[in-house]
A and B are shown apart, each in its own frame.
Chain A
Amino acid sequence: MIRKILQNSIFEVLEKMFFVFLEPLEGRNQGYRWAVSISFSGDVNGKLTAYFDNEISSMMVQNMLSVSEIEVTGKLQEDCMKEAVNMISGDFLRNFDSSRVFDLSLPIVDADADGLLADEKDEENKVVLTFDSGCGKLGVVLRLS
């Protein structure tokens, strides 16, 4: 159930705010450039980390801000990725249990993420999802505690 709620939240945010349409993938956990993490606390604590490659990150900026590829800057990419992770977490938690209050941290960007997702696998209290958009890759890891 958690996997389905998370996947729906990812689709909702990427489609509605960034006009990026994703296809779920098996594997393909290499080649990401950024890892953006956010933690949440409340009745349930956890951390969500999203992995982006340069292509999908650039496309998100272009679509969200209606700018051309040459106008995309690293700062805008970070901004959009942080906003995406913030929204995915908020949407997931709202659909997970809207009667509970969760406190979200501010998102943190790691700009050297290649290989970090390679060893991640589904476990109890951990969900790993990977997607292809046709214009780049996205991976998401959710840990609950």
Chain B
Amino acid sequence: MSFNVLIVDDSNAMRSVIKKIISISGFRMDNCLEAGNGEEALDVLAHEWVDVIISDINMPVMSGLEMLARLKKDELYKQIPVIMISTEGSEERIGEAFSLGAGGFIKKPFVPEELRLKLHEIIGVGNDGEYEDDKEDSSELDF
């Protein structure tokens, strides 16, 4: 089983880095979608389903926190886990992200392992890139 990811960051370079980290971490990505700000991300979601969103906070047009607040008010989108990756690191700002419903918060600068572990924790993917659900299915077949 593979998953769809939406990366939201106004930096093309940072989107490329995050995409590369996901790829080299062994996760099976079906579709990697990108958006330059929160508004673009909402447009993408109107046409595509994603399993996880990785988003910056400080972006033009619509910030990551505003996008997060809108997603969590929407019945369709509120179950999608959102990982915030941001330079915004004050205790209050991190608390605000979690109170709005963020599934994780990674402070920039970060090392690839931090993102890999957070994705593993949130979408339940094993170190070998195998979904935990798949493993359970496999063991059932063995019996």
Contact = CB atoms under 8 A, between A and B. Distances in A.
Interface stretch (B14-22, B45-53, B124-132): B14-22
Interface string B53-97: 000001010000000000000000000000000111111110000
Contacts of A66: 20
A125 interface: no
Contact of A80 (B10, B13, B86, B110): B13
A104 B109 contact: no
Given A65-B17, A82-B11, A91-B108, 4 more contacts: A17-B17, A89-B87, A90-B87, A106-B10
Interface of B: 10-14, 16-17, 20, 58, 60, 86-93, 107-111
Interface stretch (A23-31, A93-101, A133-141): A93-101
Interface of A: 12-13, 16-17, 61, 64-66, 75-76, 79-80, 82-83, 86-87, 89-91, 93-94, 98-102, 104, 106
B109 A12 contact: yes
A104 B57 CA distance: 10
A100 B94 CA distance: 11
